[in-house]
Amino acid sequence: MSHEQLLEIQRIDVETDQLKHRRLSLPQRAELESARRDRQTQQVTIDEVAVLRVEAATRQRRLEDEAETVSARADQDQARLYNGEVTAMKDLQALQTEISHLRERQESIEDDALVSMEEAERLSGQVSAMEEACSGLDERIDRLVGEIAGSEDDIDAKLAALTEQRATCVSEVDADLLEDYAQLRPGFGSATVVHFDGRNCSGCPSTMPAVEADRLKHVPSGTLDHCNECGRIVVT
């Protein structure tokens, strides 16, 4: 009968809406969004520390190169000191002073290079620790993505089955009645098609007027009509 099929269509539509809402509101979605935000925040921090590490390593290499240059100059002056090229006492003393200054400068630069190396190593350790922490977060994200996909597949299968059931019911209901139902449903939702219990339309928010109740009492049982009070489709 049309009223039974229409009620079944309404049931299917309600269940379909519930499943679609459930699909959009899976608890893992909020957890996944939070995990992705945390991952993004951590990646920003990792990138910032990584930049500092590169800067420290670059500074270390520059200082090491500078120390080698100063050392080479000191070695050249040291060779001049002993190869007989400089003979005057005054020049020898000046050369010795220059060599001493160069060695001091070399030592100072090498100390700075060591500090930069230690800083680069410390920052590298921080990056490694943060990346290890992120790997655990990545695993959590992958797990959540998998759980969501599994739930979506399960819901989609149920939705497909409901679609088939609805198509079968639709084929047995008058087209004008279906159009009427479709127009009313956005306003009435799951209570678009309701029953008349002999005194009231179960969809009316208040008591049905006696005249309307009496009218529906005289409608043949199992007939589809409209409640003149609320406008819903009523099964008598």
Q: Where do the domains of the chain lie?
A: 2-172, 176-235
Q: What is the pLDDT of residue 104?
A: 96
Give the side-chain half-sphere CA count within 13 A for 30: 4
How many Å apart are CA 68 and CA 116, to the nearest integer? Answer: 16
| Confidence check: pLDDT of 223 > 90 | no
Asked whether the beta carbons of 193 and 6 are under 8 A apart, the reply is yes
How far is Cα 167 from Cα 216, in angstroms, rounded to an integer?
30
The sheet carrying 193-195 orders its strands as 193-195, 233-235, 224-226
Cα 235 to the chain's mean position, in Å?
47
Give the H or E element holding residue 135: helix 89-170
Q: Which residues neighbour 28 within 8 Å (Cβ) at sequence distance 6 or greater?
A: 144, 147, 148, 151
In angstroms, the CA 132 to CA 127 distance is 8
In this predicted model, what pLDDT tens digit does every residue of 62-108 receive, in sequence order?
999 999 999 999 999 888 888 877 778 887 788 799 999 999 999 99
pLDDT score for 17: 96
pLDDT at 129 over 60: yes
**d(Cα 9, Cα 6) in Å, to the nearest integer?**
5
In this structure, the strands spanning 193-195 and 233-235 are parallel
More confident residue, 194 or 198: 194
Closest by CA position to 155, among listed 22, 32, 54, 55: 22
What mean pLDDT, rounded, does the chain reach?
Answer: 90
pLDDT of residue 14: 96
What is the pTM for the complete model shown?
Answer: 0.69
Max CA distance (Å), the chain: 136
How would residue 204 be classed by pLDDT, with cut points 50, 70 and 90?
confident
CATH of domain 2-172: 1.10.287.1490
Min mean pLDDT across 4-18, 21-35, 72-86 is at 72-86
Residue 201 burial by CB count (10 A; 0-12/13-18/19+): exposed, middle or buried? buried
Coil/strand/helix, residue 206: coil
pLDDT tops 60 at residue 1: no
Burial class (CB within 10 angstroms; exposed 0-12, middle 13-18, buried 19+) of 194: buried
